[in-house]
Structure 1
Amino acid sequence: MISWQDFENIGLRIGTIERVEPFPEAKKPAYKLWVNLGPLGVKQSSAQVTDLYSPADLLGKQVLCVTNFPPKRIAGFRSEVLVTGVYREDGAVVLASFEHKVPDGSLLA
């Protein structure tokens, strides 16, 4: 069990994917994403979501991101946020997203 304070310390914010590029240098199939997080600006992320999403599917999609992990280098690319999702039984990742648009940078409540 974690405390409510522990949960509040996780930076979970909503952002809109503004740019998507293939990431052939990654060990596993992935995309490079640029996510607009409102007041936090546009942040980069590497996401292994190629099984279910094309670049066109991702553009404009709002996703839930962890914004306070330290940046991580992945095949020379600086990933600044973690785009969240869940694994299906077949290993494909389904992104955590929202059915109604909210302001970029909104905190998960």
Structure 2
Amino acid sequence: MELYDVNEFWKFDLRVGLIKKAERLKRTKKLIKLEVDFGSEQRTIITGLADQYSPEDLEGKKLIFVLNLKPKKLSGIESQGMLIVAESEDGKVYLLPVPDEVPIGTKVW
């Protein structure tokens, strides 16, 4: 495992977001388009979880996202961040829900 200085970690802007809408992207097996509310702004984020979660599993959930990544086009749609999940050695992905009392837009560290 490569080790990093803690200052590398502080470069990432992790925030709590509420998934307002989720829809599977046609012509793809894994991609889901998320519309995420961060309080002061809404963003479109594409995630590759459709092989393990349905859009209905994601809607209404408060989760953690990285916001200061360069936008990336996936299936022709610009993704403006990345969802943080846990993944076991066998490839099972776990959502990391945020308690209801944590306001959307809250910084994570």
Give the TM-score normalised by structure 2: 0.85
2:31 is aligned with 1:13:
no
Tell me if the contact between 1:13 and 1:67 (Cα under 8 Å) persists in the aligned partners.
yes
Tell me if the contact between 1:65 and 1:84 (Cα under 8 Å) persists in the aligned partners.
yes
2:53, 2:59 → 1: CA distance? 10
Corresponding residue for residue 36 of structure 1? 37
Offset of residue 38 of structure 1: 1.5
Cα RMSD (Å): 1.7
Structure 1 unmatched runs, 5+: none
Q: Deviations over 1:55-78 (max 9, x none)?
A: 222111011101000100011011
* Number of residue equivalences: 107
Tell me if the contact between 1:86 and 1:96 (Cα under 8 Å) persists in the aligned partners.
yes
Q: Deviations over 1:70-94 (max 9, x none)?
A: 1000110110010111223442321
2:47 is aligned with 1:47:
yes
Change (3 A) 1:13 1:38: same
1:4 maps to which of 3, 6, 18? 6
Give the TM-score normalised by structure 1: 0.85
Structure 2 unmatched runs, 5+: none
Corresponding residue for residue 25 of structure 2? 23
Tell me if the contact between 2:18 and 2:60 (Cα under 8 Å) persists in the aligned partners.
yes
Matched residues, percent identical?
31
Offset of residue 8 of structure 1: 1.5
1:37, 1:19 → 2: CA distance? 13
